[in-house]
Amino acid sequence: MKHRDDYFRNSMGAKTEPLVMFLDMNCYFASCEQQRHPELRGKPVGVLTYDSPNAAVIAASKEAKIFGVKSGMSLSDCRMLCPEMITTVTHPAWYRIIHVDVMNIMRSYCDDVIPKSIDEAVANFYSYRLVYNDLTEVARQIKADIKKKYDYLTCSIGIAPNSFLAKVGTGLQKVDGLVVITPDNIDDYLAKMKLTDLPGIATRNERRLLLTGIRTPLEMRHASAALLRKVFGGVVGDYWHRRLNFGEVDMYNKVENRTMSATRTMSSQQSRDRQQLESMLISLCTRLEQRMVKGGLFCKEIYFGIRYRDGSKWETTIKLADPVQDAMELRSYIYERITDFEQSRGLKTVFTDKVTNLNVGIQSFVKNTVMQYSLFDNRIKKDTVRKVMYQIKDHFEQKDIVRKGSELFNPHVMKDAIGFGSVRDMLVKNGEVKNKHLLEEDALPGEPRKIVIKKKPPPAPPPEYEEVDHEYTGPEYDDVPMIEAQ
């Protein structure tokens, strides 16, 4: 299946040696629960954000997946597929401890490890090409080291010339996998895949590709950069061309800041109380505010969506001329839209007792250092106050010593939160793993963990990776859900 252009493609400046390793923990949250509770091992387990019959399952064990249970499904749907499924609530502090341990295991083999999410990381072994003869042996060692520490945890490892293809490799063998993608076998693998099997290609991108006559990942790899530019609109098409032809696009860019979102699933009891729904919205906005303050960011686009029990949705996207950061400002923009909609339809309220899910997303970020303050408002003062408040919270490490009025509105809904797609919240302080955006850390019994960074072999000369500006190409908002745990 080797294309005659391969030789040419491979000399386009891309490095084709498989020196990038991607690690993806299998059924992460569910396996972590099974690790801590041996009585759950070998059984179908669903992990919930909170204990309620209306909750959504955010992670399923491999035993539950056999029954067709998928993350994001409502508990009642899961029960229909798998009546004997055991449920447990999330324990984010535990997942973070294991995350840090897994990262340290990887770092004992390579100093260039970049965590991509709570259960994924990429390691660039380019500097170690003279140190290790066989990266599959290193991968087996990493798996063995993880197993030694956490005997129930498995991971899939992909090895390829770039981080994108290495990630593709982790998807090819779902449990305890180890796949090496090289210029010699890439076409055979791609030929067996669907377009939507590629990370970042969801139905919308698939539709665009099909319209141009590109039906498979293999055809996509052999499409010209010019054609892909047409499909994706500009430079994003070039990125896709490079990803599939061994160029590096994804390794060092900060994927986390493309979008941030916070979402919350309601019980029917919660949705009966309009005040509860409104305070949920404030808590979601406050979470996003915290993350923007910490990142020194403002946003210019807000998304708000409500999902109802019958599967219908109400959603709105707000583009702003002036970037915002303040939770109550986010909320008031959302309210403006809601009020407009309710009045134009003669509706009493969109916050009905049929609400099952609220989701706030933000994107189009602006760094605070480049913010243009308008001369005639008190933004600077307000922004300073907000920053100082978070500094005080950090300083006293007692996140609830100082609270904003908005946090007091319904403090018990603001607890720990864990992002599937983000590890920015992770902080190691005095050897303890903490979430730096937390208001209250969830308690975990046992000693605080000491983090030991092991000695690494001396690295070879530094890699010559190209730096590429990255544009977001994946599905909007949905790919990095924030799960609020109670």
Stretch that binds Mg ion, among 119-127, 171-179, 261-269, 444-452 (CB under 5 A): 119-127
Beta carbon of residue 5, minimum distance to Mg ion (angstroms, whole number): 34
What torsion, rounded to 10 degrees, do the Cα atoms 91, 97, 100, 103 define? -70
Stretch that binds Mg ion, among 24-32, 61-69, 308-316, 343-351 (CB under 5 A): 24-32
Active site residue 476: no
Beta carbon of residue 23, minimum distance to Mg ion (angstroms, whole number): 9
Chain mean position to CA 191: 28
β-pairing, 120-124 vs 426-429, is: unpaired
Give the whole-angstrom CA distance, residue 178 versus residue 71: 23
* Comparison of 97 and 218: residue with beta carbon closer to Mg ion: 97
Beta carbon of residue 188, minimum distance to Mg ion (angstroms, whole number): 24
User: What would you measure as the largest C-alpha separation in the chain, in angstroms?
Assistant: 71
Stretch that binds Mg ion, among 23-31, 287-295, 339-347, 360-368 (CB under 5 A): 23-31
- Is the CB of residue 442 less than 8 Å from the CB of residue 416? yes
Per rule CB under 5 A, is residue 29 in the interface with Mg ion? no
- Is the CB of residue 118 less than 8 Å from the CB of residue 99? yes
Question: Mind spelling out the 3-state secondary structure of 181-227?
Answer: CCCCCHHHHHHCCCHHHCCCCCHHHHHHHHHCCCCCHHHHHCCCHHH
Residue for token pair 């066989």: 134
Stretch that binds Mg ion, among 20-28, 267-275, 306-314, 413-421 (CB under 5 A): 20-28
Binding to Mg ion (CB under 5 A): which residues in 179-218? none
* Comparison of 126 and 164: residue with beta carbon closer to Mg ion: 164
* Comparison of 95 and 232: residue with beta carbon closer to Mg ion: 95
Binding residue for Mg ion, selected from 101, 119, 250, 326, defined by CB under 5 A: 119
Per-residue tokens: 421: 């797609």
Q: How many CA atoms lie within 13 A of 299 on its CB side?
A: 29
- Residue 254, classed as helix, strand or coil, is coil
Beta carbon of residue 9, minimum distance to Mg ion (angstroms, whole number): 31
Beta carbon of residue 116, minimum distance to Mg ion (angstroms, whole number): 10
Per rule CB under 5 A, is residue 101 in the interface with Mg ion? no
Stretch that binds Mg ion, among 115-123, 224-232, 236-244, 324-332 (CB under 5 A): 115-123
- Buried-exposed string 358-368: b where 16+ CB fall within 10 A, e elsewhere: bbbbbbebbeb
Beta carbon of residue 26, minimum distance to Mg ion (angstroms, whole number): 6
* Comparison of 59 and 280: residue with beta carbon closer to Mg ion: 59
Q: Which of 120, 248, 289, 484 is catalytic?
A: 120
- Is the CB of residue 143 less than 8 Å from the CB of residue 23? no
Beta carbon of residue 27, minimum distance to Mg ion (angstroms, whole number): 7
* Comparison of 28 and 239: residue with beta carbon closer to Mg ion: 28
* Comparison of 142 and 360: residue with beta carbon closer to Mg ion: 142
Question: Mind spelling out the 3-state secondary structure of 269-315?
Answer: HHHCCHHHHHHHHHHHHHHHHHHHHHHCEEEEEEEEEEEECCCCEEE
* Comparison of 297 and 485: residue with beta carbon closer to Mg ion: 485
Amino acid at 319: K
User: What H or E segment, with its residue span, contains residue 261?
Assistant: strand 259-265
* Comparison of 142 and 218: residue with beta carbon closer to Mg ion: 142
Beta carbon of residue 299, minimum distance to Mg ion (angstroms, whole number): 28
- Is the CB of residue 166 less than 8 Å from the CB of residue 159? yes
- 18 φ, ψ (degrees, to nearest 5): -75, 90
Stretch that binds Mg ion, among 19-27, 176-184, 283-291, 402-410 (CB under 5 A): 19-27
- How many positions of this chain bind Mg ion (CB under 5 A)? 4
Per rule CB under 5 A, is residue 24 in the interface with Mg ion? yes
List, in order, residues 6 or more apart from 124 with CB less than 8 Å away.
19, 20, 110, 112, 114, 163, 251, 463, 465
β-pairing, 113-117 vs 120-124, is: antiparallel
Q: Give contact residues for Mg ion (rule: CB under 5 A).
A: 24-25, 28, 119
Which residues have a catalytic role annotated? 120
